[in-house]
Chains A and B, each alone.
Chain A
């Protein structure tokens, strides 16, 4: 055993405690860093002296040789990461839906706003009632004409605003796709760096943290699973390895988004490249979203039965809001989604209202004694699609051509009452009785897109569905947000830096350092005794 054995042990202790102190410093420094995982130095005792062997020195037992800093490890629970990412996908999905529905709600403002569709309908109805009591009055007639125009303007406004909002969601899809691809690229880069470091026995904790932040971010867009692959070489047992990130659809289709140092770009099927980077990131120029392609594999939004199969996440929430299409079992293209459905409903409503109104108007007689003409026109439409945008008051209609009379006399307002009743007509009826006419109106034969209920009840249905959908999305957003919050709390409990803890550790390591230094002094004194104090007897 060497004379300097004690010095060596103390020196090792100094180095190890210093190492631990620096790690405390790193933890304290990053106490508020987003995504930082606290680190711990695993101190291990070095091999004792002498090693067991046949010709070991004859000393009693083995003497410890000190300490070394084994490795610096992140304190993290992988299982919590899995939970976090699952819930993050749900939150991303419901946030996207809730945002789109809230926006739509404020456009279709039906909570007592003067400009709402039901209020303009009501104003039109009131003008028709006034007309029925003063059918020969020019001002009453002009008001009907103007209120009719206001009603068509409201249809146009709603249709245009919703279409514009839909386009905005389309650009958000494009931004999301680009963001996803950028995240995938960064993760694959990090994989590459990690794969270069790990085989040499390093634990690149800060790269791990960066990579985990990116995977967390990716999980809000898409529901993904992370598979790890060991690096090989002299990689430590605690090394995280390479992340292979997989996306699986409900129908079993799956693809690796990231595999080692390579990644597959996410692109919009049949879409448009909006920024010239050779990544197809925007929804198709015509029609709705069909799906997403990753590395040549297609992920359809929905199957032939209309069940959504695309993995949950913000991207799906955006696609469902923007609108998607699928081919059903009969080979027909079906369009679905929040915006297309609302626009479709408005078209149906405008077409139904305009057509029934025209049918009643044409039965009446105007102030000049001529039969009524069409009150509303739909441009060159062949069916109801696009009616909300196309509906307008017949341009050749003057106030005197409003057919308010049933019997032909200018003072008869019976047909104005019929016109006012249009919104309450039973749309399934083939014999609606009209005031002042003996013949019935066959609404069922008009070929309307709505075949049951009344115009009012159908509109209330549309608004009710919007309200319920928005309420559901808001509730589920709040739910998944609080679930995510509780997982995040658990994660923080494991991984975040506690200053008290670090300071306690600091004291612990500092005292150990001081004690080791004292050991050196003690050894020094021992040696000094031998060197300076011995062999000087009697001097």
Chain B
């Protein structure tokens, strides 16, 4: 084949361009840290990248939901714990009041304390966290107990909402985060407390004060049952949290494998390409050969 100067120059420029564009590619990968900078670099990986990024974003969002759920569960737990203590104190007072040595004035002062404790129960029922009433089911913007409890005698109903509040913790997996306020702060509880207070104030009880013990015990059981359910939810939350953070780790790793550059690899490639480029330049300087002209006198 006949080779001319212009062909050499042309070839040299082409090859130089090829190795230069390789350098540019590696440089872009190193600078961006991504293997794929355009869809067409690798359409399959780019498409996978879209869904991996979505998975990572979703897992992160679910982690936000977890903290929301744990706020609910922890505050519910604390409130129920407090309600339990209040009811235990009422039980102690009932035991004290049922003793035959108590004078009517003693019983009146016990009644005063029970009244205070009852109001405290109402306060607990109206617990508000993050501007939400946590014991009114999904009706979180209204107080669960808004009626005047001192006159409440069970002839009407408190109407506490008992809908479960659910939070999505993973695709399609929901956890109920509230306790059933209508069970803990039942109409019966406040009716019984009103009866107890009026009996204590009267100083006598028709069927004796002992009968209140069974009733208070039943109410305490209600609280304990909700408390144990809340505890179980808290456990479930912890387990799922662990699983989701594991998921985040895996998803991030897969995403990174899919689109992040292997720095060592690319840097090595870059060095090789850079060597090739320098060589091409050196050869180029040689390629522009002396012509016959240089030897003619």
A456 to B167, CA, bound (A): 23
A106 to B64, CA, bound (A): 32
Contact residues in B for A435 (Cβ distance below 8 Å): 166, 174
A122 to B53, CA, bound (A): 9
**CB pair B50 A470 closer than 8 Å:** no
A51 within 8 A of B: no
Min C-beta distance of A504 to chain B, whole Å: 7
Count A interface residues, CB 8 Å: 60
Min C-beta distance of A241 to chain B, whole Å: 26
**CB pair A112 B53 closer than 8 Å:** yes
**Could you list some 16 contacts between A and B, CB below 8 A?**
A32-B6, A105-B40, A110-B50, A132-B167, A411-B132, A411-B165, A413-B166, A463-B46, A467-B40, A489-B10, A492-B6, A492-B7, A497-B6, A499-B5, A501-B4, A503-B296
A464 within 8 A of B: yes
A321 to B136, CA, bound (A): 60
Smallest CB-CB separation from A504: which chain B residue? B292
Contact residues in B for A334 (Cβ distance below 8 Å): none
Contact residues in B for A497 (Cβ distance below 8 Å): 4-6
B245-259 vs A: 1/0 string, CB under 8 Å? 000000000000001
A123-135 vs B: 1/0 string, CB under 8 Å? 0011001101110
Which one of A101, A129, A420, A467 lies within 8 Å of B64 (CB-CB)? A129
With A468-B43, A503-B292 in contact, do A493 and B7 touch (Cβ < 8 Å)? yes
Which one of B3, B46, B292 lies within 8 Å of A110 (CB-CB)? B46
A496 to B9, CA, bound (A): 12
A32 to B6, CA, bound (A): 7
A407 within 8 A of B: yes
- List B74-119 residues whose CB lies under 8 Å from chain A: none
Contact residues in A for B291 (Cβ distance below 8 Å): 499-500, 503
A146 within 8 A of B: no
- List B124-141 residues whose CB lies under 8 Å from chain A: 130-132, 136-141
Task: Report the number of A-B residue pairs with Cβ-Cβ less than 8 Å.
Answer: 168
**CB pair B64 A470 closer than 8 Å:** no
**CB pair B46 A467 closer than 8 Å:** yes
Contact residues in A for B166 (Cβ distance below 8 Å): 413-414, 435
| 6 tightest Cβ-Cβ pairs between the two chains A and B | A411-B140, A467-B43, A467-B39, A470-B40, A409-B138, A412-B138
**CB pair A129 B65 closer than 8 Å:** yes
B157 within 8 A of A: no
A105 to B58, CA, bound (A): 25
Min C-beta distance of B183 to chain A, whole Å: 18
With A409-B163, A503-B293 in contact, do A463 and B168 touch (Cβ < 8 Å)? no
**CB pair A129 B168 closer than 8 Å:** yes
Min C-beta distance of A440 to chain B, whole Å: 16
Which one of A110, A126, A134, A411 lies within 8 Å of B138 (CB-CB)? A411
Min C-beta distance of A446 to chain B, whole Å: 22
Min C-beta distance of A514 to chain B, whole Å: 15
Min C-beta distance of B48 to chain A, whole Å: 9
A485 within 8 A of B: yes
Which one of B50, B136, B168, B292 lies within 8 Å of A417 (CB-CB)? B168
